[in-house]
């Protein structure tokens, strides 16, 4: 049995835990990092990285079936599904050293590869080591939520933890859940040659702007994905290669089943009650300061904090609590400026308020500016004209942006920065951007906020005529 005294003990070496550990250790804190599974957590091993690698292969395959309008003869790509999965595995392996035990030990961090649990409000046990710390950070993440559907225990199903390991292409993938994870996996598999049916109990992409989400779903349907909404699942049954999903709208049959209905925060076996840390099914109960009210030594970051579940949120949380833990400064996690994206093709991205939320909050003060991709020269030149930007603005400042279209995930960055820093639209409208770029969509949307009051305005015209008479 060994004993360690430290400043900060972190449980979980995923996006949140690693960010806290690296920051705190490099600023001089004595840090212990405990991880029971793979270094890198969900994002690296079974989330962002493999899903984006799979989508990239799918996009490549899809692009080969297009191009006639540019004079390129489409072909039917030959898809070696196992080799696609090698590409996914290689992407993970290439990034893995950044999250590795060796790298973090290089920062002077003690890394323990065990399950951690509290033994008292100020002490944890991991394997045969006890750790006493001034502060504890719970960065234990989430796992796929599998609801108790009739028959689920006897039916083989995949989750994000297993689907990337599949070496044989599913003949017909049934996806229960039409959120971002289900929809991304649906498009990836469809483009790689599977039949795909998405079964959603309510509205697919229900957290996004309904108008642009509907446009995306239309595009996915046109690619051959069947998307059934309002189809609440009542039972599942079957065996490897022959799965049946019963819903209130009818029965669906396929070869494989992916459960993508949501996420459940991981708190089990942590001994939270022993440490007097309040928690519920949404996660560890924390305030805006990400600190437990029932045990002030304890913080929660990332998915474990029970809010928006994204890697960039986990990284943001790390910065918030480092300020509080290391410097004793007040620090709060906000959500209004947090963007997110669904990495389909075209992509769908959001930051700030949707149109409906902005209308409710700002009423008549709201102006919604729309820019269609088919008005952008680069989008036209590249044949990527499906898409729209909706900019929600109040008193010359952005309060929200929704983008459907090519590179929506990149374009949303400008609005994330603008909303976070309260930047005026005039600054974005006044920026000089390279031509022709998709980024001009953002600039033109900001410009359009002003052009309505500048162009076709009698007062402006009178002023210009008057000035023209006087200046030499």
The answer to whether 181 is annotated as binding is: yes
List the one residue from 270, 386, 399, 428 that touches ligand FAD (CB under 6 A): 270
Task: Write b or e for each residue in 219-233: b if 16 or more Cβ atoms lie within 10 A of its Cβ, otherwise e.
Answer: bbeeeebbbbbebeb
Q: Considering the complex, what minimum distance in angstroms separates the CB of residue 315 from ligand FAD?
A: 9
Query: Residue 389 in contact with residue 371, Cβ under 8 Å?
Result: yes
User: Per-residue x/- mask for ligand FAD, residues 335 to 354, rule CB under 6 A?
Assistant: --------x-----------
Name which of 300 and 445 has its Cβ closer to ligand FAD: 300
The answer to whether 114 is annotated as binding is: no
Residues 440-459 that bind ligand FAD (CB under 6 A): none
Helices 408-420 and 440-454: crossing angle, nearest 10°? 60
The answer to whether 180 is annotated as binding is: yes
Q: How far apart are the C-alpha atoms of 159 and 144, rounded to whole Å?
A: 7
Residues 160-179 that bind ligand FAD (CB under 6 A): 160
Q: Considering the complex, what minimum distance in angstroms separates the CB of residue 431 from ligand FAD?
A: 27
Judged by phi (left if over 0) then psi (alpha if -120 to 50, else beta), residue 305 lies in alpha
Supply 207's token pair. 């957290």
Query: Residue 322 in contact with residue 20, Cβ under 8 Å?
Result: yes
Q: Considering the complex, what minimum distance in angstroms separates the CB of residue 182 from ligand FAD?
A: 9
- Give the neighbor-by-neighbor strand order of the sheet with 226-228: 226-228, 195-199, 172-176, 256-259
Q: How far apart are the C-alpha atoms of 335 and 422, rounded to whole Å?
A: 14
Q: Considering the complex, what minimum distance in angstroms separates the CB of residue 452 from ligand FAD?
A: 36
List the one residue from 8, 31, 32, 141 that touches ligand FAD (CB under 6 A): 141
Name which of 11 and 175 has its Cβ closer to ligand FAD: 11
Q: Considering the complex, what minimum distance in angstroms separates the CB of residue 468 from ligand FAD?
A: 53
Q: Considering the complex, what minimum distance in angstroms separates the CB of residue 116 from ligand FAD?
A: 4
The answer to whether 347 is annotated as binding is: no
User: Per-residue x/- mask for ligand FAD, residues 25 to 54, rule CB under 6 A?
Assistant: ---------xxxx---xxx---xx--xx--
Q: Which of 5, 15, 1 is closest to 309 using CA atoms?
A: 15
393 binds ligand FAD (CB under 6 A): no
SS3 content of the chain, % helix, strand, coil (to 5): 40, 25, 35
Cis peptide, bond prior to residue 436, ω within 30 of zero: yes
Supply 396's token pair. 């010359």
Residues 3-22 that bind ligand FAD (CB under 6 A): 11-17
Residues 209-268 that bind ligand FAD (CB under 6 A): 266
The answer to whether 179 is annotated as binding is: yes
Q: Considering the complex, what minimum distance in angstroms separates the CB of residue 136 from ligand FAD?
A: 11
Q: What is the DSSP letter of 164?
A: G
Query: Residue 188 in contact with residue 258, Cβ under 8 Å?
Result: no
Which residues are CB-neighbours of 156 under 8 A, at least 6 positions away? 238, 239, 240, 243, 257
186 binds ligand FAD (CB under 6 A): no
Instruction: Single out the segment in contact with ligand FAD by CB under 6 A; choices: 147-155, 299-307, 361-369, 418-426.
Output: 299-307
List the one residue from 217, 304, 358, 418 that touches ligand FAD (CB under 6 A): 304
Residue by residue, DSSP assigns 290-327 as SBBSS-TTEEE-GGGGTS---HHHHHHHHHHHHHHHHH
277 binds ligand FAD (CB under 6 A): no
Residues making contact with ligand FAD (CB under 6 A): 11-17, 34-37, 41-43, 47-48, 51-52, 115-116, 139-142, 160, 181, 266, 269-270, 302-304, 309-312, 314, 343
Residue ranges of the binding site for NAD(+) = 177-184, 200, 262
Residue ranges of the binding site for FAD = 52, 140-142, 303, 309-312
């Amino acid at each position: 049995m060994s004993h360690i005294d430290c400043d900060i003990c972190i449980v979980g070496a995923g996006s949140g835990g690693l960010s806290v550990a690296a920051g705190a250790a490099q600023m001089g804190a004595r840090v212990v990092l405990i991880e029971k599974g793979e270094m890198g957590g969900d994002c690296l091993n079974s989330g962002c990285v493999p899903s984006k690698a799979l989508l990239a292969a799918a996009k490549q395959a899809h692009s080969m079936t297009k191009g006639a309008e540019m004079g390129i003869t489409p072909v039917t790509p030959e898809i070696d599904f196992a080799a696609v999965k090698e590409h996914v595995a290689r992407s993970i392996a290439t990034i893995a050293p950044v999250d590795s035990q060796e790298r973090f030990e290089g920062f002077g961090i003690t890394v323990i590869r065990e399950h951690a649990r509290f033994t008292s409000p100020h002490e944890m046990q991991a394997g045969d080591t006890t750790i006493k710390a001034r502060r504890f950070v719970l960065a234990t993440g989430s796992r796929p939520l599998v609801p108790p559907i009739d028959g689920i225990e006897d039916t083989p199903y995949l989750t994000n933890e297993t689907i990337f390991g599949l070496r044989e292409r599913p003949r017909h993938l049934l996806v229960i859940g039409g959120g971002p994870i289900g929809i991304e996996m649906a498009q990836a598999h469809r483009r790689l040659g599977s039949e795909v049916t998405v079964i959603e109990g309510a509205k697919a992409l229900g957290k996004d702007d309904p108008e642009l989400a509907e446009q995306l779903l239309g595009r996915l349907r046109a690619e051959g994905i069947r998307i059934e909404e309002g189809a609440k699942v009542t039972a599942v049954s079957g065996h490897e290669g022959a799965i049946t999903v019963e819903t209130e709208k009818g029965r669906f049959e396929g070869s494989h089943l992916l459960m993508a209905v949501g996420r459940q925060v991981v708190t089990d076996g942590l001994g939270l009650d022993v440490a007097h840390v309040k928690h519920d099914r949404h996660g560890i109960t924390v305030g805006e300061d990400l600190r437990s009210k029932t045990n002030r030594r304890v913080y929660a970051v990332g998915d474990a904090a029970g809010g928006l579940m994204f890697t960039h949120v986990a990284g943001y949380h790390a910065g918030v609590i480092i300020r509080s833990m290391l410097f004793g400064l007040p620090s709060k996690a906000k959500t209004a400026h947090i963007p997110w994206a669904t990495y389909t093709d075209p992509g769908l991205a959001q930051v700030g308020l949707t149109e409906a939320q902005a209308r409710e909050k700002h009423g008549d003060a709201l102006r919604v500016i729309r820019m269609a991709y088919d008005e952008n020269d680069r989008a036209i030149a590249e044949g990527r004209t499906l898409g729209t930007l909706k900019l929600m603005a109040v008193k010359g400042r952005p309060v929200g942006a929704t983008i459907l279209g090519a590179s929506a995930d990149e374009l949303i960055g400008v609005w994330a920065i603008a909303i976070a820093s309260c930047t005026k639209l005039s600054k974005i409208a006044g920026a000089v951007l390279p031509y022709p770029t998709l980024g001009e969509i953002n600039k033109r949307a900001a410009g359009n906020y002003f052009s309505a009051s500048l162009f076709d305005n009698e007062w402006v015209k009178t002023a210009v005529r008057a000035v023209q008479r006087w200046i030499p």
